[in-house]
Amino acid sequence: MPTLSPTSLLIPTVAPGFALVKIKYSCIEPSDRANSIGAFPKTIFSRIPGRDYSGTVIELKQDSGARRSEWIGKTVYGTGGAELGFNIDGPHAQYCLIPENMLIEKPDTISLLQEQSQMTLFLFWVVLVLGASGAVGSAAVQLAQATGCRRILTATRNKDENPDVLLKGDIDTELQTKLPSLTDGKGVDVVVDTIGNLDIMNTAIHALAIKGRYAWITALKGGVPMKLSLDIFEAYRKEIELVGCNTGLATTENTAEEMKILTHLFKQNLIHPQAESSMNLVDLDDAIEKGYKTSLNKKQTVLTMD
């Protein structure tokens, strides 16, 4: 099993097709924690972890002076898709080589720190977000609102957040009782699952509308059963779709296109970043003890390089 250790390295030499970015902030995501202990077979070790980043471009390997002038000094942000932290070094370091085709300038409407937590969603009419109060879930809610969904239903474990569906106690009964009345008996067009619980998944799939889509962006953990019981006749009759959203498969081009969409929404003030007060800043020197080794909590851990 790989182990984490702090290491001093030379600043990377810029290679063709890459930009050298001085990292300002970088989140420690659950996938980073899993990657650091060898949970992703595709990772080539030794490897600097990390996927999400914000910082400043300081060098670009380009023959075109205009292209270099376009980017050097610009503040950029993004996430790594299938490459950063897996087969090339990630941004949990003061400097990182970022593929040039992934460079996206950060909009002025968000701070470098606030940048660290947004995702993408499908456009339909009625959306149910499981885990709506988390970082990914709250971003999904905003994106559903920004893209004009008719109704966004929230499901969380915390009754103080006044969710449409409370994920406590007899969750099956709660979903089966609430969702028909909340959707006029038609069901949910899209379920966005950021929790990863087979019991909830079984019930929520049953609540899908005709041509409904179930998208999940989390994996089950802790040695629990991984096999889903699916009524294939019901799935056929309703023409439902099950979509696994694995950001680790996104190419640099995919990632850049999605970041462009998010940037446009930020600039239009259609989506908003999490408050900086909801983030736990950790110095790079303390990344292992105060970041990777700590338990997950409501505050998102963000590494600061200064």
**Tens of pLDDT along 206-221?**
999 999 999 999 877 7
* Structural domain range at position 244: 124-251+259-265
- Strands 241-244, 208-216: pairing kind: parallel
Q: What is the pTM of this model?
A: 0.79
Structural domains of the chain, count: 3
Report which DSSP code applies to 181: H
Q: What is the pLDDT of residue 67?
A: 81
pLDDT digits 0-9 by tens, 255-287: 889 899 899 889 989 898 888 888 999 999 999
Q: Give the pair of three-digit tokens for residue 10.
A: 């030379």
The angle subtended at Cα 247 by Cα 18 and Cα 4, nearest 5°, is 70
Same domain assignment for residues 187 and 171: yes
Same domain assignment for residues 98 and 60: yes
Instruction: Name the nearest CA neighbour of 30 among 46, 48, 50.
Output: 50
Same domain assignment for residues 180 and 108: no
| Whole-angstrom distance, CA of residue 238 vs CA of residue 241 | 9
Same domain assignment for residues 134 and 110: no
Residue 151: CATH number of its domain: 3.90.180.10
Q: Give the pair of three-digit tokens for residue 297.
A: 């909590």
Residues in the chain, overall count: 306
pLDDT, mean of residues 141-155: 91
Domain assignment present for residue 6? The answer is no
Same domain assignment for residues 141 and 113: no
Domain assignment present for residue 198? The answer is yes
pLDDT greater than 60 at residue 197? yes
Same domain assignment for residues 246 and 130: yes
Same domain assignment for residues 116 and 75: yes
> Of the ranges 55-69, 81-95, 105-119, 249-263, which one carries the lowest mean pLDDT score?
105-119
Q: How high is the mean pLDDT of the chain?
A: 89
Same domain assignment for residues 116 and 25: yes
Report which DSSP code applies to 10: P
Domain assignment present for residue 130? The answer is yes
Which parts of the chain are beta strand (E)?
A: 18-27, 53-60, 75-78, 95-99, 126-130, 151-156, 165-166, 188-193, 208-216, 241-244, 279-283, 300-304
Q: Give the pair of three-digit tokens for residue 282.
A: 């950790």
Same domain assignment for residues 195 and 288: no
Q: Do 167 and 200 form a contact (C-beta atoms < 8 A)?
A: yes
**Could you tell me which residue, 108 or 116, shows the higher pLDDT?**
108
Instruction: Name the nearest CA neighbour of 205 among 165, 167, 238, 178.
Output: 238
Domain assignment present for residue 4? The answer is no
Q: What is the pLDDT of residue 119?
A: 38
Q: Give the pair of three-digit tokens for residue 39.
A: 């949970």
Decide which of 87, 120, 153 is a domain's last residue: 120
Q: What is the pLDDT of residue 118?
A: 43
Q: What is the pLDDT of residue 114?
A: 59
| Whole-angstrom distance, CA of residue 75 vs CA of residue 204 | 41
